[in-house]
Structure 1
C-alpha cells in the first residue's frame, strides 16, 4: 500500500469515525447523556467503553517507493545465423519449442560443400602419394650413399697398405699411387651420394608441407560442411522462427532466435536522481500485467549501466528474476519497485501517539473473554514523514494498537473497536 493510499484510508476512517460520533449517541453506541444517566441511575459516561479505531503493526518504510516500467527478456539470448549461403532444406522446430544443447534445429543444402570436401580429399591423396614416392627415392639414395661409404673405406685401407709396401720397395710406386687415386674417387662418390640424400630429404620435406597444407584445406572444407547443420548452443526455448524450407539465405542471415527462459531479466529506465539509492544485489519486487494472479515476484539488481541517456538522463537498471517453470515469457510489461536500502522498522500513523499523555506512548489492545482494554506502552520512536512515524522498539509486528479514539485514553481503559478497525485482537 502506497503512502497516498494509506493517507486516503486514514482520512476515510476519520470521516467515518466522526460520522459515528455524531450518529451513535441517538442509537445507543456511546454512553447515554447526563440526563439519561440521571434518569436511569447508571454510572457516569466516562466509565463506559470508548470507541477506538485500531490497526495491526506492520513493517514499512517512510521512503516513497517509485514504480518503474520495464520489459522481460531472457537472461541469455542467441540468434542462429547462417554461416554459409544456400537453400534451407529443413526447419525442425517452431516458436515455443524447447531444445537441447547440440540439437540440430535447421539444415541448409550442402551439395556444393560436399563436392568441395571430396575434391580436397582427392588432392590430399595425391600429395600423400608424392610423399610416399619421395620416401622410396630417399631410401634408395641412402642405400647408394652407404655403399659408396663402404667402398671408400675399403679404398682407404688398400691405399694405406700399398703405400706402406711401396715405401718398403715391395711394390712399385705406380701401384701405390693407383690405390690412392681410387681412394680419392671413392671419397668423391660418397660426397655425391650424400648430396643426393640431402636433396631427397628437402624434396620430401616440401612434399610433407604440401600434405599439411592440403590437410588444412580438407579440415576447412569439412568444417564448412558442418555449417549446414544449425545446432543449439544451449538448452533454450525457440523465441522466433524467421525462415521456412525452400528459402534461400545468405551468409549471416538469422534463421532462429533462442532464449533461456529459466532466468529472466527486466530492463528498467531509472532517473539519475534515484541512482544513489540503488546498489548491485538490492532486492526488487516485480508485478506483471500478464499474470494478475501473481501478486509480486522477487528479484535482485544485477547490473546498473554506467552510461545515462544524454537526452532523458535515464539509466538502464537490470533486475534478474527466477523463472524455473518457464511460465513467464519474453517481452512482457513488468512493473518494478526497488526495496529501499537500510533497516526496516514498524511504521504507524502519528495519530497513534496522540492518544496518550506524551509522544512516546502508544496504546495496545488487550482482549479477554470479558472485555477489551487499551494498555499504555512506552515506545522508542525514529524518523517521521508525512504523518507516518517509525517505532524502533516497544511494539511487535502484528500487535494491535489504537490508531485514534474519540476521547483521551488511560491505561486499562475499556474500549470497543469501531467498524474501521483492521481485525480484532486475538
Structure 2
C-alpha cells in the first residue's frame, strides 16, 4: 500500500486527490456494512406509532344555520276591487283574530245589496199572488163539485120521472147532459188548482233564489272590511289609504309569533341524527349567548335531488314575542350518545396483521389490538395482543365497548406484523408516555 501511495505522490497533486477520494469511499462502505450487520439502537425493536385510548364522542356536534319565521304567516288580501278608505293598523302592531284592519269603499256593494233586496220583494209579491190564485182555484173547484153533485141528483130524478111517464124522455136526457157537463167543469177546476199550485211553488223557489242572492250580496259587502284571520303582529303593509286595490291584491301580512320556526337543511349523511320531537339547543345571533330550546317539528320526506339536503323545521316557543322573523339562528344537534372509549380504526388493522397503512378494519363487532406494555426503567417495551369489542365507527375512529381501559397505549401503525411479546420502538409521532415507551425513538 505504501508503494502505491509513493507512486501517486510522484505523479502530482491530482493523483493525490484521487487517491484520498477512493480511500474515503472505501471507508464509508465499510462503515455502512458494519452498521447493517450490527443491531440498531432499539436492538431489533419494531418501529410503531402508539396512541392512548381516550374517552369522547364518535362524531362532533352538528350545527345547522337557518332563519327564523313565524309559525304561521297569512296574507290579508282584498277580496273585492275597490277604493281603500282606511287602515287601522301598521307594521309591528298586535292584532287579534277577526279584528278589523281596514275598510274599502262599499258604495257599489251596497247598491248590489239594495238591488237584491228589491228583487226579493218582487219575488215575494209574485208568490203572494200565486197563493191567492191557488185559493181562488180551490174555491172554484169546490163550487164545481157542488154543481156537479146537484146536476147528478137532478139527472137521476128526471130519469125516474121519465120511466114513470111523468116527465118526458127528452127532459131526462137534458138533465143527464147537464150532469156530465158539471163533472167536466170539476175536472177543469181541479186542473186549474194544480196549475196555480205549480205557479206558487215556482214563486217560492224564486224567493229562495233571491234570498240566496241577497245573502251573497251582503256577504260580498262584508268583504269591504279587512279582518285579521289570526292573532299575531303585522309584518308588512303593501297599500295605503287612497289606493285602488284589485281583488286578490295583498294589503297586509300578519304572522303568529307565539312560536317561531327555524328552517334548516341537513345532509342525507347526517339525517340519522334528526328525529321528529327531538329537543335541540338553538342560538340566535341577535340574542348573543342566550340559548333557546327548540323542537324538531317536521322532517321532509324528500331530499333535494341536486344538493341531497333534507329540509326540516325546528319550532321555538315565543310567548313574549321576543324573537322576530328573518333572524340568523344556529341549531345544534348533539351526538346523542354518552362518551365512549375511542380508538383509531388503524389499530384494528394492525391487529389483523397488516402494516397499519392500508386495508380495511374488520366489520364485525369483535377485533384485536396490540397494547404496549413495559418500557419503565429503561427496559424495552413489548406488545400484548388484546381482544376487544367494537361499537360504531365513523371518521376513522371506532368505539371500544370492552377490552381496553382509558389511558392504555395501543399500536395504531406498525412497520411489520406484530405478535404478543414483540419488542417495539414508539415513534416520535406517538403519544407521550413513560420513559422509554413513547417519544424517545427515531424512525
TM-score using structure 1 length: 0.66
Distance 1:293 1:65, change over 3 A: closer
Corresponding residue SS for 2:286: coil
Give the counterpart of 1:125 among 121, 127, 133: 121
> Which residue of structure 2 aligns with residue 218 of structure 1?
214
Distance 2:195 2:398 in 1: 98
Give the counterpart of 1:335 among 330, 338, 350: 330
Q: Is the 8 A contact 2:69 2:260 kept in 1?
A: yes
Q: Is the 8 A contact 1:345 1:392 kept in 2?
A: no
Q: Is the 8 A contact 1:236 1:260 kept in 2?
A: yes
> Which residue of structure 2 aligns with residue 275 of structure 1?
271
1:323 equivalenced with 2:318 (yes/no): yes
> Which residue of structure 2 aligns with residue 173 of structure 1?
169
Q: Is the 8 A contact 1:92 1:105 kept in 2?
A: yes
1:255 equivalenced with 2:248 (yes/no): no
Distance 1:386 1:172, change over 3 A: closer
What are structure 2's unaligned runs of at least 5 residues? 1-54, 344-370, 372-388, 409-431, 435-443
> Which residue of structure 2 aligns with residue 303 of structure 1?
298
Distance 1:198 1:157 in 2: 28
Distance 1:383 1:219 in 2: 69
Distance 1:61 1:90 in 2: 61
Distance 1:331 1:72 in 2: 5
Alignment of 1:226-245 (within 5 A): 226-245=222-241
> Which residue of structure 2 aligns with residue 45 of structure 1?
none
For residue 251 of structure 1, report the CA deviation from its aligned partner.
0.7
Q: CA RMSD in A?
A: 3.1
> Which residue of structure 2 aligns with residue 266 of structure 1?
262
Q: Is the 8 A contact 1:346 1:390 kept in 2?
A: no
1:345 equivalenced with 2:345 (yes/no): no
Distance 1:98 1:148 in 2: 75
Report Cα offsets for 1:348-407 as digits up to 9, x if no partner. 899xxxxxxxx9xxxxxxxxxxxxxxxxxxxx99779899998989xxxxxxx999xx99
Distance 2:57 2:111 in 1: 72
> Which residue of structure 2 aligns with residue 157 of structure 1?
153
Distance 2:207 2:320 in 1: 54
For residue 148 of structure 1, report the CA deviation from its aligned partner.
0.4
Distance 2:87 2:190 in 1: 64
Corresponding residue SS for 1:345: coil
Distance 1:306 1:384 in 2: 26
Q: Is the 8 A contact 2:82 2:246 kept in 1?
A: yes
> Which residue of structure 2 aligns with residue 144 of structure 1?
140
For residue 298 of structure 1, report the CA deviation from its aligned partner.
1.5
Q: Size of the alignment, in residue pairs? A: 314
Distance 1:336 1:198 in 2: 78
Distance 1:298 1:348, change over 3 A: farther
> Which residue of structure 1 aligns with residue 41 of structure 2?
none
Corresponding residue SS for 2:58: coil
Q: Is the 8 A contact 2:342 2:400 kept in 1?
A: no
For residue 109 of structure 1, report the CA deviation from its aligned partner.
0.8
Distance 1:184 1:88, change over 3 A: same
Distance 1:322 1:391, change over 3 A: farther
1:115 equivalenced with 2:111 (yes/no): yes
Of residues 89-98 and 305-314 in structure 1, the stretch that sits farther from structure 2 once superposed is 305-314
> Which residue of structure 2 aligns with residue 13 of structure 1?
none
Corresponding residue SS for 2:296: strand
Q: Is the 8 A contact 1:155 1:179 kept in 2?
A: yes
Alignment of 1:388-403 (within 5 A): none
1:314 equivalenced with 2:309 (yes/no): yes
Distance 2:246 2:394 in 1: 63
Corresponding residue SS for 2:287: coil
Distance 1:125 1:337 in 2: 68
For residue 212 of structure 1, report the CA deviation from its aligned partner.
2.1
